[in-house]
Amino acid sequence: MPDSIPEFYKESIDISELSALRSRARGDASVCLEVAALAWYMRHEKKTFLEDILELHASLATRPSLLPGGWSHRMTLIAAEIIRLNQAPDDSLELYETARRGFAQLSDYVGLGDVCLSLADLHLMCGRMAEANAQSQDALDFYRKAGDPRREALALARMAYQSQYGNASSALEHWAGIITDDFGADNPAAAMYAKGYQGGIAFQFGRFPQAIKALTEAFDLALTLHANWLAVQLANSIGAAYANLFDLPTAMEWKEKSYSIASSVGWPLALGISLASLAETTTSLKDFDRAQSYFDQATLYLERFHSSRRHVIFYNAHGNLLLQIGQEEKALGLFDRAQKVAGQLEQDDIRLSSRISKALALHRLARSDDARELALSTCHEAAEAKRPYLEIRALQALAEIQRADAGPCLEQSIATLQRAVSVGDRLDGFVIQSDLLSELARDYEAIGEYQTALHYERRARDSWQRNFDQQNGARILAMQVRFDTARAKADAEHHRELARSEAARAATLDEANQILERLGQVGQEITARLDYEGVFKTIYGHITELMPADFLSIGLVDEDRQIVDVRYRVEDGRRLDPRLVALSADSLVARCARENREILSCAQDGRPPAQVPGTRAMHTVLVRPLTIGDRVLGIISVQSDQADAYGTRERRIFRTLCAYSAIALSNAETYDQLERAVGDLREALHRLVQQEKMAALGQLVAGVAHEVNTPLGVTLSAISLLHDNIRALQESLGNGGLTRSNLTEHLQTGLELSSLAQRNVVRASDMIRSFKEVAVDRGSDDRRVFDLGDYLREIANLMKAKLTGSGSQISLDIDLIQMDTYPGALAQTITNLLANIADHAYGPDRAGPVRVKAREINGDKVEIIIADEGEGMAADVQAHVFDPFFTTNRAAGHMGLGLHVAYNQVTQRLGGSIHIQSQPGNGTTATIVIPRELPRFGRPRAVYPVEASVVTTVPIR
């Protein structure tokens, strides 16, 4: 899609696209816009393309909605440009005005500026300098209003270019600080006109080498930008500059270039100008017949264009040729026309030149009086206009006329020629032509003044020598200019080629960097997947983006089964069923896996490689093994229906992707194995933890059994004694020996025994109830509200037997605290810590205290401290107390999971923290900090930060 505002000129336009696009621009707005943009850049191109553009303009005129914004008005402007160049310029004025009105309605200042700049060209073609300057100024104002700096620079350069046709000194002074050597360095269109201006000014001042250099640069830019109208004019100017350096062959070459361009575009005015310029140079070469032919052809094109400076020059040049071949009447008519147009243009230099030539024509037609009068008046006008070169020419023509009329009396012609010599001598650096001096010498010789004649003959010879030397110098200079220009052009082309090569290299490097960056991202994405299916889909997605892959398959090598398990197959985006390929098979997949090498197979004689059953035939197949070290994990096969689809670039990309894919498949395989191992480990750990829980519960049961055994024994003894007492009472009652005192004794004894049994039964019942509550909590995941003191006392009672059995005494110091948490997790933690003290704190011959403290801290947390004064732990032991399966007494059957389970329950279930402080011989203190009330939502978090001095480990690694 082209930009909404196109450039005025543009490089690198493929003109062959227009016809093809135009056939599609029937109702497609996007294509119409593309065609319109191409037509704009080709408006100065070949006539065949212009006919296509005019036809498109006519068809779009009935459907303006197909072109957005000002593009329909730009198409009108394009049509105006085509008519201007192919017909009479003024025939296009109505279309220019239509385009102007359209752009004005849209307040499209760029469009308005483009109309004005095109109209400036029209007026310049017609010789209307004032109007051309006004339009260029309007264009500049519009571009400034639009805020378009590139077009503003173009308008400035265009105005400077126009100014060379006026007063060169004034133009140079006006543009000196604006049009510099680097003007338009990043704007080829502006640079083109700027170089044209610099070359034109140098030409006006006679600095022809500088003119050729600048004009040649402008010409090259014009060709690049398809500015063919300007290219025709520049080629003619370059030819004229070479002619002024007396290098007429090179001048002809350039003028033939101008004619070649004019012929390709077919513009009448361009053809006429080019032919006229060729005729002038051919005349200088004295090839009068060829020159007359060129003038005759030029006349056919220029008849309808007769109001510009170039036409006056054409008339004068053609008239001078006719004078030289004796066709004075025809010449006179051309001089009259030239004089009239020059007067209308108010350009005195070409008007005076026409009058001089006309005077000579009148003289040769024997109209001496008219000739003399015209020559005299021309001499006076040239002197008054301060044009000494024209004055000298006019005086020389007047002397010729006077000489023919006076017969042997030559005083008038001598006086006139003396005046011409005097004017020439006053000009600094001017060399009077030798023919003028020779005429004066002959006139003096005719009247017998031989000394004076010899003087002027010597001056004539010196003048001829100086002119000869100047011409030779100019020719040498022209050769140097040609050489310098050719070298500069070659250097420029070399630099352009280097720039293109560097740009291509940069583009290649950029593409390579992008591919590398992309491959890096792809590698990260592929290797991040740890499941086979995810790896397969990721590989497929990226391969199809980076290279042709109408079919892709990924297989895993199974060494045990001697097969390639092709699990993933996709053709044209459609998933196919998996298939198994024997490693011994002759297929490309089996060979690739078996031989551990990349295989590329292409169609031969139009026959595709071996076809996989159930898939369509492909023209190119690329298979590569996926290896880690020397081990082949699998293969990847890509196929394309394009012939020779996989070149060096694609194969490098494929190899990189295969390397990443091999790593990803290895990771997936390892992850699969790891998952199975972790699953087995988790199951084993779960069983061990359950065993540890049951072991801890067994310890509680043993403690309960020990504690309950005493009250039950007392109860049994009391009941036995009570039974014996009742039997004795029954016997006394049966044999009649029962007395009141005896009855009272038996009753008192029975009451005491029953009370003793009752107390011990209640005691056993309380112990069983506590065990039941703790056992139920440990087997349940429910949370509830409970009193921390009562709960810890119940746990202490249950563990008392295990502790007191070794002689240790347990003491409780617990604040009144209501907890809302998981009692089972807390019970297991306290039980495991107390069991650890019973097993490890004191030696077999040593007992000591066990203290349990609990207090509320910071309002929402509870701190539980369990301490002993036992043997303590060394630093290396303390560092691993929470590690799973770490124990210092494995011989006694301990598994090393007690404190590990306690750590997990505190940190994960109760949302708290636990840390151990211990030193050898100074006992051990376990500090637990947990929330008094667990949050109702979300996972519990640790609320007690682990201090730097506390050593803990993660629960499972």
- State pLDDT tens for residues 590-610: 888 888 888 888 876 555 565
pLDDT band at 141 (very low <50, low <70, confident <90, very high): very high
Q: 798 and 692, same structural domain?
A: no
SS3 2: coil
Note down the domain range covering 611. 524-666
Tokens of 879: 């560092």
CB neighbours of 207 closer than 8 A, spacing ≥ 6?
A: none
Rounded average pLDDT over 529-542: 78
Distance separating alpha carbons of residues 16 and 23, to the nearest angstrom: 13
Q: 677 and 572, same structural domain?
A: no
pLDDT band at 291 (very low <50, low <70, confident <90, very high): confident
pLDDT in the model for residue 949: 32
Distance separating alpha carbons of residues 828 and 776, to the nearest angstrom: 11
CB neighbours of 552 closer than 8 A, spacing ≥ 6?
A: 539, 540, 543, 544, 568, 569, 570, 636, 637, 638, 639
Contact 238, 203 (CB under 8 A): no
pLDDT in the model for residue 953: 30
Is the pLDDT assigned to residue 927 strictly greater than 90? yes
Strand pairing report for 849-857 and 809-814:
parallel
CB neighbours of 17 closer than 8 A, spacing ≥ 6?
A: 38
For residue 557, the cross-strand partners are 564
User: Could you say which DSSP state residue 604 is in?
Assistant: B
Is the pLDDT assigned to residue 647 strictly greater than 90? no
State the CATH number of the domain containing residue 931: 3.30.565.10
Higher pLDDT, 405 or 305: 405
Task: Count other C-beta atoms under 10 Å from residue 167's C-beta.
Answer: 12
The count of structural domains within the chain is: 4
Contact 44, 265 (CB under 8 A): yes
pLDDT in the model for residue 939: 47
Residue 709 included in any domain: yes
Residue 38 included in any domain: no
Rounded average pLDDT over 658-665: 81
HSE (side-chain half, CA atoms, 13 Å) at 72: 18
Tens digits of residue pLDDT in 780-831: 567 889 999 888 988 888 777 777 666 678 889 998 999 999 888 898 899 8
Residue 20 included in any domain: no
Which residue in 205, 202, 236, 207 sits closest to 219, CA to CA? 236
Contact 779, 824 (CB under 8 A): yes
Rounded average pLDDT over 430-440: 84
Query: Last residue of some domain: 419, 445, 466?
Result: 466
Tens digits of residue pLDDT in 252-267: 999 999 999 998 888 8
Which residue in 430, 418, 345, 358 sits closest to 387, CA to CA? 430
Q: Is the dihedral of CA 14, 17, 19, 21 positive or negative?
A: negative
**Please, where are the H alpha helices in 603-739?**
648-735
SS3 926: strand
For residue 861, the cross-strand partners are 857, 931
Strand pairing report for 620-628 and 599-602:
antiparallel
Angle between helices 388-406 and 434-446 (to 10 degrees): 30
Residue 215 included in any domain: no
Q: 662 and 541, same structural domain?
A: yes
Higher pLDDT, 22 or 800: 800
Strand pairing report for 551-558 and 631-640:
antiparallel
Among 9-13, 247-251, 519-523, 871-875, the range scoring the smallest mean pLDDT is: 519-523
For residue 814, the cross-strand partners are 854
Q: 683 and 574, same structural domain?
A: no
- The pTM for the full model equals 0.53
Distance separating alpha carbons of residues 158 and 202, to the nearest angstrom: 17
State the CATH number of the domain containing residue 701: 1.10.287
Q: 863 and 941, same structural domain?
A: yes
Residue 42 included in any domain: no
Which residue in 42, 39, 46, 95 sits closest to 67, CA to CA? 39
Which residue in 54, 10, 6, 11 sits closest to 33, CA to CA? 6
Q: 653 and 607, same structural domain?
A: yes
Q: 602 and 695, same structural domain?
A: no
Residue 485 included in any domain: no
Q: 621 and 579, same structural domain?
A: yes
Residue 448 included in any domain: yes
Q: 800 and 755, same structural domain?
A: no
Task: Count other C-beta atoms under 10 Å from residue 115's C-beta.
Answer: 30
pLDDT in the model for residue 161: 92
Distance separating alpha carbons of residues 946 and 914, to the nearest angstrom: 8
Contact 51, 19 (CB under 8 A): no
Query: Last residue of some domain: 779, 806, 826?
Result: 779
Q: 596 and 461, same structural domain?
A: no
Q: 695 and 623, same structural domain?
A: no
Distance separating alpha carbons of residues 158 and 229, to the nearest angstrom: 14
For residue 634, the cross-strand partners are 556, 626
Query: Last residue of some domain: 728, 745, 779?
Result: 779
Tens digits of residue pLDDT in 700-744: 565 556 566 767 777 777 687 777 778 877 877 778 777 777 778
Residue 801 included in any domain: yes
Among 65-79, 479-493, 912-926, the range scoring the smallest mean pLDDT is: 479-493
Rounded average pLDDT over 562-583: 86
Q: 948 and 858, same structural domain?
A: yes
Rounded average pLDDT over 201-229: 89
